[in-house]
């Protein structure tokens, strides 16, 4: 996507602002030259875990004073924002990093990014590793023009939340990317197998760019059978973190409607335009608008 640019186009003076910097998801050699340069220039680094960031800095000979590296993780992000002096920071280069991959993608960072936007301060992307896209790129799946790719983050642990999410996804997503641990893989596959009428095809990418990197393609039933038995893949997928890509392109359906849905549909249909009604029902019941329109209002 985009055009190939010449070197002179990238030779710009770095400006004050927040730099959202992608870091390696495993292999330290994946840290880009631009990321190293900007991390070295930043007067302040906000890090998910300062210990992890210090290890990264040591590998590329970046030296920061203690007060130039501050923690900014899930449970202290709001407090950190309240304590930062944004008037002073408006003239500084500030870096934002997570332990691995791209900040704000199922990692801390979105609140500090939003604060910069609210204050009208510039936010810059220093792109690089993102495990979700890295996993999709090696899946062999072709995303066609009329198809959708949804990022679902970490799969819900509660039964009710998992069912609700799958209900939404089944109405309008062709492919879905989840994050999951190997220990919970069987639970995720079990949810998929029980929810959908047909066997679902998945692609698994484990520990990408690391020593124990591995991939696995197959149907839920096949993978579950091997995990529950003593297949050769079971030992290979005994630990680590996963990117799970689920193929729903042949599974899309409108879920069984509730009595409340039917009541609102029958009550409003004679009085509201179909396009407007589809929007109302999709927002109220968390369903895909196009799917609601096609199933109930198109005729």
Burial of 43 (0-12, 13-18, 19+ CB in 10 A): middle
| Length, in residues, of the chain | 299
Neighbours of 150 (CB within 10 A): 15
Task: Please name which of 26, 52, 55, 30 lies closest in space to residue 211, comparing C-alpha atoms.
Answer: 26
- By three-state DSSP, how is residue 99 classified? coil
Alpha-carbon distance of 222 to 253, in angstroms, equals 23
Listed in sequence order, the residues at least 6 apart from 159 whose beta carbon sits closer than 8 Å to its beta carbon are: none
- By three-state DSSP, how is residue 223 classified? helix
Task: Give me the sheet containing 214-219, strands edge to edge.
Answer: 149-154, 175-181, 241-247, 201-206, 214-219
CA 37 to chain centre: 26
Q: Does domain 132-247 have CATH number 3.30.950.10?
A: yes
Alpha-carbon distance of 30 to 35, in angstroms, equals 10
Q: Which DSSP state fits 103? A: T
Q: What is the CA radius of gyration of the chain?
A: 23
Task: Please name which of 164, 76, 247, 271 lies closest in space to residue 84, comparing C-alpha atoms.
Answer: 76
* Token pair listed for 168: 């939404």
299 residues of the chain, pLDDT tens digit each: 666 665 555 556 789 999 999 999 999 999 999 999 999 999 999 999 999 999 999 999 999 999 999 999 999 999 999 999 999 999 999 999 999 999 998 899 999 999 999 999 999 999 999 999 999 999 999 999 889 999 999 999 998 899 888 888 887 789 999 999 999 999 999 999 988 878 999 999 999 999 999 999 999 999 999 999 887 888 899 889 999 999 998 875 555 556 777 888 888 888 888 888 888 888 887 777 777 777 777 66
pTM: 0.79
CA distances from 188 to 120, 195, 217, 265 (A): 41, 11, 15, 33
Task: Please name which of 84, 92, 116, 119 lies closest in space to residue 103, comparing C-alpha atoms.
Answer: 116
CA dihedral over 253, 259, 261, 265, signed as positive or negative: positive
Q: Which DSSP state fits 156? A: P
Which phi and psi (to 5°) does residue 33 adopt? Answer: -65, -40
Burial of 260 (0-12, 13-18, 19+ CB in 10 A): exposed
Task: Please name which of 243, 247, 135 lies closest in space to residue 192, comparing C-alpha atoms.
Answer: 247
H or E segment and range at residue 85: none
Alpha-carbon distance of 57 to 60, in angstroms, equals 5
Alpha-carbon distance of 49 to 107, in angstroms, equals 11
CATH of domain 15-129: 3.40.1010.10
């Amino acid at each position: 996507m985009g055009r190939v640019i010449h070197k002179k186009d990238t030779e710009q003076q770095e400006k004050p602002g927040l730099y959202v910097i992608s870091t390696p998801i495993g292999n330290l050699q994946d840290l880009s030259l631009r990321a190293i340069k900007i991390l070295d220039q930043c007067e302040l680094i906000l890090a998910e875990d300062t210990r992890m960031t210090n290890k990264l800095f040591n590998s590329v000979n970046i030296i920061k004073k203690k007060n130039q590296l501050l923690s900014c993780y899930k449970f202290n992000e709001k407090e950190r924002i309240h304590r930062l002096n944004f008037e002073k920071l408006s003239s500084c280069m500030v870096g934002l990093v997570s332990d691995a991959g791209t900040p704000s993608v199922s990692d801390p960072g979105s609140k500090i990014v939003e604060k910069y936007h609210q204050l009208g301060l510039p936010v810059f992307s220093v792109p690089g590793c993102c495990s979700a896209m890295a996993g999709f790129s090696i899946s062999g799946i072709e995303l066609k023009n009329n198809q959708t790719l949804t990022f679902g983050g970490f799969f819900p642990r509660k039964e009710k939340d998992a069912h609700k999410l799958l209900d939404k996804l089944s109405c309008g997503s062709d492919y879905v990317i989840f994050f999951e641990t190997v220990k919970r893989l069987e639970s995720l596959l079990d949810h998929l197998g029980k929810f959908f009428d047909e066997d679902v095809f998945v692609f698994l990418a484990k520990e990408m760019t690391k020593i124990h990197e591995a991939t696995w393609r197959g149907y839920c039933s096949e993978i579950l059978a091997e995990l529950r038995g003593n297949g050769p893949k079971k030992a290979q997928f005994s630990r680590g973190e996963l990117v799970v890509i689920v193929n729903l392109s042949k599974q899309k359906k409108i879920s069984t409607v509730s009595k409340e849905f039917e009541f609102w549909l029958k009550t409003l249909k004679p009085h509201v335009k179909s396009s407007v009604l589809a929007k109302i029902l999709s927002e109220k019941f968390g369903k895909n608008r196009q799917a609601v329109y096609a199933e109930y209002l198109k005729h």
